Amino acid sequence: MPKGSVAITTERCKGCGFCVEFCPTHGLELSSAFNAKGYHPPHMISAEKCSGCNLCGMYCPDFAIFGYKYPANKAKGEAA
């Protein structure tokens, strides 16, 4: 049961890879898909490990991703 998840605004992403590199649970990778500007935005590869710590959000220079925690008593099983 994951403790949290991430929300991604793919169109803002410039594909720097900071979120992928610094995710403590290594739960992200850059997608092979392109956004409208031709960058590869990240996607989750192991949603179950996400703690919603928001380190990805702290690193993202483009405000394109952030992590959030599920409310303690209502943890959800799905990723964004």
Partner 1 sequence: MSTTDFVVHNPVEDLLRQDRVPTIWCPGCGIGTTVNSFAHALLGQDIDLSKTAIVSGIGCSGRVSGYMNLDSFHTTHGRAIPFATGLKLANPELTVIVYSGDGDLTSIGGNHLIHAARRNIDLMVVCVNNMIYAMTGGQAAATTPGSSMSTTTPYGAFEPELNMPQLVDAAGACFVARWTSFHVMQLERTMAKALKKKGLRFIEILSPCPTYFQRKNNLGDALTAMVDYKKRSKIKHGCHTWETALEPGGDIIVGEFVDREREDYLTRMRRQLGSHYSEFPEQTEEEISEGACSEC
Name the 3-class secondary structure at 47. Answer: helix
What Rg, from alpha-carbon coordinates, does the chain have? 12
Q: Does 29 bind partner 1 (CB under 8 A)?
A: no
Burial bucket for residue 36 (CB in 10 Å: 0-12, 13-18, 19+)? exposed
Q: Does 68 bind partner 1 (CB under 8 A)?
A: yes
# chain residues binding partner 1, by CB under 8 A: 28
Residues that bind partner 1 (CB under 8 A): 5, 7, 11-12, 14-18, 21-22, 39, 55, 57-63, 66, 68, 70-71, 74, 76, 78, 80
